[in-house]
Structure 1
Amino acid sequence: MEDSLFKNIINNFHQQLGLYQEMKSLATEQLAWLEKIAAGGQETSRSDLNNILLKRQELMEQISELNRFNHKLQEKLCQQVNIEEFTLAGIKIHITDHDYREVEKVLAELGNLLADILADDQKNQVLFSQVVVPSSREASSKSLQQVSQAYREAMKKPPLT
């Protein structure tokens, strides 16, 4: 097996991890904004929410691109070592213990982070529909409609395919 191919896969996972950490930060920021409004707090600018959602959408596009590239690398690796799919069990005998521990660790971190983001996003979705959607019926603001659309688009895209 080509060692640099596997290193590229690991590096790609680390890049995705960094982007998902940014996504978690933005999901938390979004949740704080929505909770403040839901609690009857002073409404901040809707452009703040719009900016959060647009940043999240941009991150999802970057993550999707990295993920597609990683899948191609994984397919190439699978062909090289003659396994059907990229799994930890399947690649274990083809890599060093150090590399195995590293990929196992980054995948565990990604899984935990994705679970955290999903939990925040479920709360965000409920609050969004309670706080933003009703007021969007009253508002004629095009930017508010764009916020709603950006959020719906972000929720449609899976974080890791």
Structure 2
Amino acid sequence: MRHRTSWVLGIGLRAQCPPDDLISLVTRITADHGLAMTDLAGIATWQARIKAPAIHALAASLDCSIVGLERPELARVGPRVLTRSPRLRALIGIDSVAEAAALVLADRLAGGQPGALAGPRRQTDLATAALATCATDWAIDNVNYPLD
């Protein structure tokens, strides 16, 4: 079976994050890794933020859907995140939304094989973004299923 490397993006943000702030952050993180935003195989975030205007603007700018993940899914990959936020730990019980979301989506795209973070999350005052990669021949349409 022939595989290709897929890149996915995890997003964390505060509810009041302006769309331009998030889009600018995603543009920077993809460019820093030699990617275009259109190279992303998928984008994921915490389900509680899926209706945020910035998320909708990002999805529209990329012409793609965003996968919403529940807190238990994000918590399962907690030992694999690179950045730990005491504020997030106190608020929602996980260490990093962006990194965890990227890892969960990369794992799904690879059929359960572990994806890998490209590095620690990048951030602005109101948003975080993290890239993960995996070897896959799957499409984003195959990832919207609940984890056990």
TM-score above 0.5, yes or no: no
Q: Which has the higher contact order (CA 8 A, sep 6+)?
A: 1
Q: Which has the larger radius of gyration?
A: 1
TM-score by length of 2: 0.22
TM-score by length of 1: 0.21
Greater fraction of residues in helix? 1
Greater fraction of residues in strand? 2
